[in-house]
Amino acid sequence: MAKISINLKKGNIQKQEDVIIGIDLGTTNSLVAYVPAEGKPARAIKDQEGKNTLVPSIVHFDQTGSIVVGDEAKNKLEINPERTIYSVKRLMGKSYDDVASFQKLLGYRIINEDTEALVKIEVDGKYHTPVTLSAEILKHLKARIENNLGQVVSKAVITVPAYFNDSQRQATRDAGKLAGLDVLRIVNEPTAAALAYGIGLDSSEEKKVVVYDLGGGTFDVSILEIQHGIFDVMSTHGDTFLGGDDFDRAIIEHWMTANNWDTVLLEEDKGFSQSIRLLAEKAKKALSKKDSFSAELKGTQITIRKQDFESMIRPIVERTIESCKKAMKDAGFAPKDIDEVIMVGGSTRVPLVHDMVKAFFEKDLNTSQNPDEVVALGAAVQAAVLAGKQKGVLLLDITPLSLGIETMGGLMDVIISRNSKIPTALARNYTTSIDGQKNLKISVFQGERDLVAHNRKLGEFILQGIPPRPAGIPKIEVQFMLDADGILVVKAKELRSGVEQQITIKSQYGISEAEMAKMLLDSIQNAKSDMEIKALLEAKNEAQNVIVNTDRFVKQHKSWLSEEQISSIVRLLDELKSSTKGEDKDVINQAMTSLNDYATPLAHEAMDKVIQESLSGQDINSTKVD
Ligand code: ADP
Ligand code: MG
């Protein structure tokens, strides 16, 4: 939309286009980018000095209560750790229980007043949430681009890791809203990286792409399949505690040992630990270009050679290659199937990382785009697509875990299956299991196991006011609507009366990548036993239906059934009832077959009678099976 406005910076009146910005909200660094005009490449915005595009994802609260973000906050990390919040992305959409295990790794305090609620961070007795802290980073980025362009921006595309679940995506969206941004899309980071390389923009193109992302503290690899402009995440793997920080730590350890420095210094001398950390990162970056690095610390000359650095980090890089192997296996691909390997994240500048990834995938890597910026640039490309600056591109993602509801016997009934493209809406019909039933509980689960007990509960609600009818008669449609950001709306509707009820799922509890991987693994490992339990529960459910229907049949047709027929049915019915108390599905199925074999001819006879009676003008309703 074009509008006329006054450019406050330049003081002139101009016609402005609404810009939609792309934001990479990273664990270590964040940045903002945009596409200046149709056909122009995306551009990341630098700080006021025109130097850096990266904003360290760090928020510092100073003594007076004012907030600083970015490089200025990074300087306080060692000196004032309890007021300086970093790695907040790790806490997004998580409960205290989810993150308690890594409190010891953080310099600030996370709060456990309610272990199941979303986590909070305490600074000077004031509570902050990951959402409000992320909003501070987003505000900083928004101000940066507004200053640079001399105009207000209010619309954004923000990226998240492919493995982020619904609540983490929602938390990111909320942070955007708090920062005064209308978040038009949440896009997966690997999808954005591919877009920055122009992959997927031509809808006739079909490609299999690996995105290898090694950042400051996290690693992930995603395998994308791109067809008709649709991006499918075939698999993702990684380690949420592996990254460039580990390289820094290796260098620090090396220097501590080489100079016989006591490790206690790192804890007790904040000035020293700040200096050595900064020097280690500087050394690491230098070694991406040179063969050695030296500096002075505590009056001592400290050095490190590239070859020593490489032998220290080789095992760490090896672990990322293991993840690549797993991701390739999950996707069912071999290196020869892959068309492109895209390198993302500052740590991919380390030559050893580059070489090992190249050797594993047996091909040249895409490194022409700046690895720190590529995700933000891709987000800007997606923003341009939304703004209509790129025609004919459709962007879809997939849902990583199946979504469904609990049905009788605690079975998981999948409505939207894992790897479905989103947005999507699917519905399925259900009914009641008891005569006269007025309420139906809808419990929503996420996961791959056949029993809901093994899956993750997202929420539940009760559909009330179902008109009382015999079991099996009411038709209840349960609809799942999953939008492009992975937000789920579940609606249940009784079709005759129209009564309906719905919930929007913004689940409170986070699910980590590791948990997600475990859920998938469990489902594979337990597939056989799950199948047996499922078969038993299904037999029991079916038997229950047969019992209800047969009871009803006997009641309705008492008038013409012989006493012998009735007592035979009752005997077979009792056998079936007692079989359902046992745990042998074959016995249940056998009892069902016996009852069916006996009752089916009678049911046909009943049908004939209904037809005859209707032909002779009698009221069919009196004998109609409802
Ligand atoms: P994130 O995605 O976690 O926010 P980034 O992609 O910004 O992180 O990566 C940050 C990491 O990249 C840091 O550990 C930083 O030290 C490292 N890094 C940046 N530049 C280089 C370089 N030239 N050589 C090696 N490591 C680098
Ligand atoms: Mg990143």
Q: What is the pLDDT of residues 317-342, one digit of tens each?
A: 999 999 999 999 999 999 999 999 99
**Which ligand 1 atom is at minimum distance from the Cα of 247?**
14
Name the closest ligand to CA 250.
Answer: 1
Nearest protein CA to atom 22 of ligand 1, as residue: 285
Residue 80 maps to a domain: yes
| Nearest-CA residue for atom 11 of ligand 1 | 216
Cα 169 to ligand 2 centroid, rounded to whole Å: 15
Q: Final residue of a domain: which of 522, 539, 572?
A: 522
Q: In terms of domains, do 166 and 264 share one?
A: no
> Quick check: 440 and 463 in contact, CB under 8 A?
yes
**Can you list the pairs that 600-605 forms with residues at least 24 positions away whose Cβ atoms lie under 8 Å?**
602/553, 602/557, 602/561, 602/565, 602/569, 603/553
Query: b/e string for 162-191 if b means 16 or more Cβ within 10 A?
Result: bbbbbbbbbbbbbbbebbebebbbbbbbbb
**What's the Cα-to-Cα distance from 266 to each of 101, 254, 257, rounded to whole Å?**
22, 13, 13
* Annotation marks residue 460 as catalytic: no
Distance 213 CA to ligand 2 centre (A): 7
Residue whose CA lies nearest to ligand 1 atom number 26: 347
Structure confidence at residue 486 (pLDDT): 66
26 C-alpha to ligand 2 centroid (Å): 5
CA of 348 to the centre of ligand 1 (A): 8
Residue 294 is predicted with a pLDDT of 97
Number of structural domains in the chain: 4
Ligand 1 binding residues, C-beta < 6 A: 26-29, 215-218, 243-245, 281, 284-285, 288, 345-347, 349-350, 372
Q: Are 186 and 172 in contact (CB under 8 A)?
A: yes
Residue 300 β-bridge partners: 297
Q: Which atom of ligand 1 is nearest to the CA of 288?
A: 24
Confidence category of residue 259, pLDDT binned at 50, 70, 90: very high
Take residue 413 and report the two structure tokens written for it: 């009934």
Task: Tell whether 352 is covered by a domain.
Answer: no
In this prediction, residue 20 carries a pLDDT of 94
CA 350 to ligand 1 centroid distance, Å = 9
**308: annotated active-site residue:** no
238 part of a folded domain: no
Atom of ligand 1 nearest to the CA of 54: 7
> Which ligand 1 atom is nearest residue 30's CA?
4
Check pLDDT > 70 for residue 616.
no
Residue 64 has pLDDT above 60, yes or no: yes
Nearest protein CA to atom 2 of ligand 1, as residue = 215
Report whether 113 contacts 127 (CB < 8 A): no
Q: Are residues 576 and 476 in the same domain?
A: no
pLDDT at 352: 98
User: For position 474, which CATH number holds?
Assistant: 2.60.34.10
Within a domain: residue 57? yes
CATH code (residue 586): 1.20.1270.10
pLDDT, residue 358, reads: 98
Are residue 147 and residue 274 in the same domain, yes or no? no
Q: Is the residue at 495 inside a domain?
A: yes
Looking only at the bridges linking them, the beta strands covering 440-446 and 424-430 are unpaired
Q: Tell me, what DSSP letter sits at residue 89? A: G
Nearest ligand for residue 371 CA:
1
Is 89 designated active site? yes
pLDDT in tens, 522-550: 766 666 677 788 788 888 888 888 898 88
Q: What pLDDT was estimated at residue 466? A: 92
- 155-160 and 182-188: which strand pairing? parallel
State which of 522, 545, 576 marks the end of a domain.
522
Please check the confidence at residue 391 and state whether its pLDDT lies above 80. Answer: no
pLDDT at 517: 61
Report yes or no on 395 lying in a domain.
Answer: no
Q: Which of 31, 134, 285, 316 to mutate to test the pocket of ligand 1 (most atoms within 8 A of CB)?
A: 285
* 131 and 38, same domain (yes or no): yes
Residue nearest to atom 13 of ligand 1 (CA): 216
Dump the DSSP string for 387-441. TTSSTT----EE-SS-EEEEEGGGEEEEEE-TT-EESEEEEEEE--SSTT---EE
What is the structure's pLDDT at 183? 92
Instruction: Looking at the structure, tell me whether residues 489 and 599 fall in a common domain.
Output: no
How high is the mean pLDDT of the chain? 86
Q: Which of 98, 136, 146, 213 is catalytic?
A: 213
611 and 485: one domain? Answer: no
Q: Is pTM beyond 0.85 here?
A: no
Tokens encoding 259: 């100079």
Confidence at 620, pLDDT banded by 50, 70, 90:
very low
Task: Find the catalytic residue in 136, 189, 220, 340.
Answer: 189
Residue 507's pLDDT band (boundaries 50, 70, 90)?
Answer: very low
Q: Do 265 and 135 belong to one domain?
A: no
What is the spatial distance between Cα 483 and Cα 609, in angstroms, rounded to a whole number?
52
Q: What is the sign of the dihedral through the CA atoms of 307, 212, 89 and 29?
A: positive
Which one has a higher pLDDT value, 255 or 615?
Answer: 255
Per-residue pLDDT tens digits for 559-604: 888 999 999 999 999 999 999 998 888 999 999 999 988 988 888 8
Q: pLDDT grade, residue 144 (50/70/90)?
A: very high
Range of the domain at 112: 17-189
Point out the ligand nearest to the CA of residue 290. Answer: 1
For residue 244, which atom of ligand 1 is closest to its CA? 14
φ, ψ for residue 354, nearest 5 deg: -55, -50
Mean pLDDT is lowest, of 4-13, 83-92, 562-571, 602-611, for 4-13
Better-predicted residue by pLDDT, 443 or 609: 443
Say which range, 101-110, 373-382, 399-408, has the weakest mean pLDDT: 101-110
Which ligand is the nearest neighbour of the Cα of 24? Answer: 2
Distance 242 CA to ligand 1 centre (A): 12
Q: Which one from 74, 78, 89, 94 is the annotated catalytic residue?
A: 89
Mean pLDDT, rounded, for 394-411: 76
What pLDDT is recorded for position 214?
A: 97
Cα 488 to ligand 1 centre (Å): 34
**Catalytic site residue 189?**
yes
Look at residue 423 and tell me if it is in a domain: yes
Position 341 in a domain: no
